Amino acid sequence: MSFSIIPRKIYEVKSLVSGQIVVEEQLGAYSLSVQNLIQSGGLAKGIWVKALKNVQKFKCSNVQNSLILGLGGGTVAHLIKQTWPQAKITGIELDPEVIKIAKKYFHLGTMNGLTIINADAFAWLKQVSSPKFELIIVDLYLGSRFPPQAEKSDFFNQLKKILAQDGVIIFNRLNSQHSKAFQRHLAKHFFRIELVKTATNTFACCRRV
């Protein structure tokens, strides 16, 4: 690998699912962008570190099973393993092209305890009832678009069915004029919500008790 100070494009593809996908390298680290928005690596790593630290404030220290809806390049999976090495992770990713990239450039193919499933997250949720997850990540962006299904009461109820009693769900949302409406809707379904705000994103960390 040649290390570049300036971000260097090393791979680009047009996906039928996600549209334009670009992988860049800078100082030996990779980032994954979809439709010109960084999804994994780069700045995404820093903001997720802040979000996951908040999970520990909920005293959710025993994460045995974690679910990631919208696996992407796997930045969150790596951070979960750093914090909870024993955790088993199920990663749901809609785009097979993203899975190929994640395995090639982000080392997901060799991560112990990670199961990658190429599926639509909403269809998959309707079919699963176990195991119970102590940590669920909802990061279902396609570029800058957050699917409207992920804002529905049915979706929240399906998540609660597989959430452990003291588990935490983290919803990742880009900051927009719709953010507060989404947070008010979450408040109807979850007893406790804490927000982690960055310049670009807001993470809603939710518990049902």
What amino acid positions are annotated as catalytic residues?
A: 139
Question: Residue 135 and residue 64: Cα distance in Å, rounded?
Answer: 9
CA atoms within 13 A on the CB side of 110: 4
